[in-house]
Amino acid sequence: MDRNQLIKWIEAPAKMAHKYSLHAVYFCTGCGIIEIPPAITARWDAERFGVLPAATPRHANLFLITGYVSLKTLRAIIRTYEQMPEPKYSVGFGSCPINGGMYWDSYNTIKHLDRYIPIDGWIAGCMPRPEAIFVAVTHLWTLIEKDMADGYKRYRVHYSEYRANQERILGALEWPPLFPKE
Protein backbone atom coordinates (compact mmCIF):
# COMPACT_ATOMS: atom_id res chain seq x y z
CA MET A 1 0.00 0.00 0.00
CA ASP A 2 1.60 3.23 -1.12
CA ARG A 3 -0.93 5.59 0.38
CA ASN A 4 1.69 7.35 2.48
CA GLN A 5 4.12 8.06 -0.35
CA LEU A 6 3.70 11.78 -0.86
CA ILE A 7 5.65 11.82 -4.10
CA LYS A 8 3.04 9.64 -5.78
CA TRP A 9 0.27 11.94 -4.64
CA ILE A 10 2.02 14.87 -6.21
CA GLU A 11 2.69 13.06 -9.47
CA ALA A 12 -0.74 11.49 -10.06
CA PRO A 13 -3.27 12.69 -7.48
CA ALA A 14 -6.37 11.56 -9.36
CA LYS A 15 -5.10 8.01 -9.76
CA MET A 16 -4.11 7.72 -6.11
CA ALA A 17 -7.45 9.19 -5.04
CA HIS A 18 -9.30 6.60 -7.08
CA LYS A 19 -7.25 3.81 -5.60
CA TYR A 20 -7.76 4.73 -1.96
CA SER A 21 -11.36 5.84 -2.06
CA LEU A 22 -13.30 2.94 -3.59
CA HIS A 23 -16.90 3.29 -2.51
CA ALA A 24 -18.86 0.19 -3.46
CA VAL A 25 -22.51 0.58 -4.41
CA TYR A 26 -24.41 -1.59 -1.96
CA PHE A 27 -26.20 -3.65 -4.59
CA CYS A 28 -27.19 -6.97 -3.14
CA THR A 29 -27.13 -9.58 -5.90
CA GLY A 30 -27.41 -13.27 -5.23
CA CYS A 31 -25.67 -15.25 -2.58
CA GLY A 32 -22.55 -13.18 -2.22
CA ILE A 33 -24.23 -10.40 -0.31
CA ILE A 34 -23.78 -12.44 2.84
CA GLU A 35 -20.02 -11.94 2.52
CA ILE A 36 -20.15 -8.14 2.30
CA PRO A 37 -21.33 -7.23 5.83
CA PRO A 38 -18.52 -9.22 7.51
CA ALA A 39 -16.05 -7.41 5.28
CA ILE A 40 -17.28 -3.95 6.26
CA THR A 41 -17.85 -4.53 9.97
CA ALA A 42 -15.39 -4.71 12.79
CA ARG A 43 -13.71 -8.05 12.22
CA TRP A 44 -12.42 -7.57 8.68
CA ASP A 45 -12.49 -3.82 8.51
CA ALA A 46 -12.73 -2.60 4.93
CA GLU A 47 -12.78 1.07 5.84
CA ARG A 48 -9.04 1.08 6.52
CA PHE A 49 -8.57 0.34 2.81
CA GLY A 50 -10.84 3.23 1.97
CA VAL A 51 -13.66 0.90 0.90
CA LEU A 52 -17.07 2.01 2.14
CA PRO A 53 -20.57 1.04 1.07
CA ALA A 54 -22.31 3.81 -0.85
CA ALA A 55 -26.05 4.25 -0.65
CA THR A 56 -26.68 5.19 -4.27
CA PRO A 57 -24.86 4.44 -7.52
CA ARG A 58 -24.28 8.16 -8.00
CA HIS A 59 -21.89 8.20 -5.04
CA ALA A 60 -20.02 5.04 -5.93
CA ASN A 61 -17.11 4.04 -8.12
CA LEU A 62 -16.93 0.31 -7.45
CA PHE A 63 -19.58 -2.21 -8.43
CA LEU A 64 -19.41 -5.66 -6.89
CA ILE A 65 -21.65 -8.19 -8.61
CA THR A 66 -21.74 -10.73 -5.85
CA GLY A 67 -23.39 -13.83 -7.19
CA TYR A 68 -25.60 -15.33 -9.86
CA VAL A 69 -27.29 -12.90 -12.23
CA SER A 70 -30.82 -13.81 -13.23
CA LEU A 71 -32.43 -11.99 -16.12
CA LYS A 72 -34.40 -9.62 -13.90
CA THR A 73 -31.26 -8.81 -11.94
CA LEU A 74 -29.39 -8.15 -15.17
CA ARG A 75 -31.85 -5.42 -16.00
CA ALA A 76 -31.25 -3.75 -12.64
CA ILE A 77 -27.47 -4.22 -12.91
CA ILE A 78 -27.30 -2.52 -16.28
CA ARG A 79 -29.34 0.42 -15.05
CA THR A 80 -27.21 0.76 -11.92
CA TYR A 81 -23.96 0.48 -13.83
CA GLU A 82 -25.02 3.16 -16.26
CA GLN A 83 -25.92 5.54 -13.44
CA MET A 84 -22.49 5.43 -11.85
CA PRO A 85 -20.22 8.35 -12.70
CA GLU A 86 -17.00 7.61 -14.54
CA PRO A 87 -14.33 6.38 -13.82
CA LYS A 88 -15.91 3.27 -12.38
CA TYR A 89 -14.68 -0.26 -11.75
CA SER A 90 -16.73 -3.43 -11.69
CA VAL A 91 -15.68 -6.72 -10.15
CA GLY A 92 -17.40 -10.06 -10.59
CA PHE A 93 -17.56 -11.86 -7.30
CA GLY A 94 -17.97 -15.61 -7.12
CA SER A 95 -18.00 -18.14 -9.90
CA CYS A 96 -21.49 -17.44 -11.22
CA PRO A 97 -20.68 -14.22 -13.10
CA ILE A 98 -17.57 -15.87 -14.55
CA ASN A 99 -19.14 -18.81 -16.39
CA GLY A 100 -22.49 -19.53 -14.80
CA GLY A 101 -21.04 -21.34 -11.80
CA MET A 102 -23.45 -23.65 -10.08
CA TYR A 103 -26.26 -22.51 -12.38
CA TRP A 104 -24.46 -23.36 -15.60
CA ASP A 105 -27.49 -25.09 -17.07
CA SER A 106 -30.21 -22.84 -15.72
CA TYR A 107 -32.82 -21.38 -18.02
CA ASN A 108 -32.95 -18.06 -16.19
CA THR A 109 -29.40 -16.95 -15.33
CA ILE A 110 -26.82 -15.46 -17.64
CA LYS A 111 -23.58 -17.29 -17.97
CA HIS A 112 -20.93 -14.72 -18.85
CA LEU A 113 -21.46 -11.32 -17.27
CA ASP A 114 -18.55 -10.02 -19.27
CA ARG A 115 -20.67 -9.97 -22.41
CA TYR A 116 -23.26 -7.56 -21.00
CA ILE A 117 -21.31 -5.07 -18.87
CA PRO A 118 -17.53 -4.62 -18.78
CA ILE A 119 -15.75 -6.30 -15.88
CA ASP A 120 -12.32 -5.33 -14.60
CA GLY A 121 -11.63 -8.41 -12.53
CA TRP A 122 -13.03 -11.64 -11.21
CA ILE A 123 -12.87 -13.21 -7.76
CA ALA A 124 -13.23 -16.98 -7.86
CA GLY A 125 -15.00 -18.83 -5.11
CA CYS A 126 -18.45 -19.92 -4.10
CA MET A 127 -18.60 -17.62 -2.05
CA PRO A 128 -15.16 -16.11 -1.59
CA ARG A 129 -14.24 -15.28 1.99
CA PRO A 130 -13.94 -11.65 3.07
CA GLU A 131 -10.16 -11.91 2.81
CA ALA A 132 -10.69 -12.54 -0.91
CA ILE A 133 -12.40 -9.17 -1.17
CA PHE A 134 -9.28 -7.52 0.18
CA VAL A 135 -7.02 -9.43 -2.18
CA ALA A 136 -9.27 -8.28 -5.00
CA VAL A 137 -9.07 -4.67 -3.82
CA THR A 138 -5.28 -4.78 -3.77
CA HIS A 139 -5.24 -6.33 -7.25
CA LEU A 140 -7.58 -3.59 -8.41
CA TRP A 141 -5.11 -1.04 -7.04
CA THR A 142 -2.39 -2.56 -9.16
CA LEU A 143 -4.65 -2.47 -12.20
CA ILE A 144 -5.54 1.17 -11.59
CA GLU A 145 -1.88 1.99 -11.13
CA LYS A 146 -1.01 0.46 -14.49
CA ASP A 147 -4.03 2.07 -16.21
CA MET A 148 -5.38 -1.37 -17.04
CA ALA A 149 -8.70 -0.95 -15.19
CA ASP A 150 -10.45 0.56 -18.19
CA GLY A 151 -13.80 -1.21 -18.13
CA TYR A 152 -15.67 2.08 -18.40
CA LYS A 153 -13.64 3.09 -21.43
CA ARG A 154 -14.36 -0.25 -23.09
CA TYR A 155 -18.06 0.30 -22.42
CA ARG A 156 -17.89 3.58 -24.27
CA VAL A 157 -15.94 2.20 -27.21
CA HIS A 158 -17.89 -1.04 -27.69
CA TYR A 159 -21.26 0.27 -26.53
CA SER A 160 -23.20 -0.87 -29.60
CA GLU A 161 -22.01 -4.46 -29.12
CA TYR A 162 -22.85 -4.45 -25.42
CA ARG A 163 -26.27 -3.03 -26.15
CA ALA A 164 -26.89 -5.61 -28.86
CA ASN A 165 -26.07 -8.40 -26.40
CA GLN A 166 -28.31 -6.86 -23.76
CA GLU A 167 -31.22 -6.57 -26.16
CA ARG A 168 -30.63 -10.07 -27.47
CA ILE A 169 -31.15 -11.52 -23.99
CA LEU A 170 -33.64 -9.13 -22.42
CA GLY A 171 -35.73 -8.10 -25.40
CA ALA A 172 -36.49 -4.42 -25.88
CA LEU A 173 -34.93 -2.23 -23.17
CA GLU A 174 -37.02 0.57 -21.65
CA TRP A 175 -34.17 3.06 -21.44
CA PRO A 176 -32.52 4.85 -24.36
CA PRO A 177 -28.92 4.07 -25.31
CA LEU A 178 -26.43 5.63 -22.91
CA PHE A 179 -24.06 6.71 -25.67
CA PRO A 180 -26.25 7.46 -28.67
CA LYS A 181 -24.68 7.05 -32.08
CA GLU A 182 -24.13 10.35 -33.76
Which of 143, 142, 68 has its CA nearest to residue 105?
68
Residue 174 makes CB contacts below 8 A (sequence gap 6+) with none
Residue 87 Cβ, how far from other proteins at the closest point, in Å? Answer: 7
Q: Rounded to the nearest whole angstrom, what is the least distance from the CB of residue 182 to other proteins in the complex?
A: 19
Q: Summarize as ranges the residues that interact with other proteins (CB under 8 A).
A: 3, 13-14, 16-18, 20-21, 23, 41-43, 45, 47-48, 50, 55-56, 58-59, 61, 71-72, 75, 84-87, 100, 104-108, 110-112, 114-115, 118-122, 139, 142-143, 148, 154, 157-158, 161-162, 165, 168-171
Least distance between other proteins and beta carbon 148 (Å): 6
Closer CB to other proteins, 107 or 175, in the complex: 107
Inter-CA distances, 103 with 99, 106, 117, 162, Å: 9, 5, 19, 23
Residue type, 138: T
Q: With respect to other proteins, which residue has the nearer C-beta, 32 or 100?
A: 100
The distance of closest approach from Cβ of residue 127 to other proteins in the complex, given in angstroms and rounded to an integer, is: 20
Q: How far apart are the first and last CA of the chain?
A: 43
Whole-angstrom distance, CA of residue 131 vs CA of residue 63? 18
